[in-house]
Structure 1
Amino acid sequence: LELAKLDFRLLQSLHQNELRNLSLWWKELGLIQSLNFARDRIVECYFWILGVHYEPHLSHVRRMMTKVIILTSVLDDIYDSYGTLEELELLTGVIHRWDIDSIEELPKYMKVYFVALTNTYKEFEDELAGEGKSYHVEYLKEEVCYSILFCFLVYYIE
């Protein structure tokens, strides 16, 4: 029983530290201040990923996937709640090209989002390069582009 309690406390401490670090990242990113319409769902997103990747040694996976889900949630808010059709067309194109130089055509709030998105994915590439797995980020970018296109089509059809 004592060993089980110790294991629980260790896991609890690990999860608290992960969530603390994600909260710091989220605050430093500044999206919630710049995009006041976006939902602040960091804890919800973390627990969602924790339910899938619960093993203690998968801490880096939880951190990365939580960031992806948070950024996707903000993107969903842009498409569902705030962006105009013209703005969404621009954002869809910029994300599809994945070109930081083309953000000048975006409204300010979308620039903030796209910079946060590209910086986060660059962070993933740098981290995974040490493991020889930075190519995984390219697959993730492709999926983001497909999901963007889907969001755009759903918005356009409605």
Structure 2
Amino acid sequence: MATGVEANIYGALSARLAALVFNPAWPISWPNIDFPGKGPDGKVKPKPPRFLEVNFLPNRTVTRTLSQGRQQHRGIYQVTVHHPSGEESLVNPLQIADRIIAHFPLGLILDQGGIRLKIYRKPYAIPQPPQNGSVTVPVTIGYETYQP
């Protein structure tokens, strides 16, 4: 189990994302883990045409009191939907983004390792123009917690 504040925040958000079930399944590209990995022959597998990519972007810690008090930890957990362009228009990747948004609703409380964090605003998606045969739809999830 993670022990630091940021590690527990990342763990709680990632566990929540991993619990979201798609049919068919969407592979997830996690930070600092080879994706899509190697096949049984030891060769790097090609990236799938549809997948989710996670980026964890903590912001600076802020003290909201005059004394030592609690520190505000805020940041963004971004889940980007990667989808082939030219297939099913923009509707399918936006529907996947909407499922992610619904899975991280405003006010959601997550607990891990003594850390309690809150989704402090409704997540949102901003589709990007197609590039290299793929369309991406980043979903921005804002979180915060107060820790000693």
Q: Which of the two has greater strand per residue?
A: 2
Larger relative contact order (CA 8 Å, sep ≥ 6): 2
Identify whether the pair has TM-score above 0.5, normalized to the shorter chain. no
Q: TM-score, normalised by structure 2?
A: 0.43
Q: TM-score, normalised by structure 1?
A: 0.41
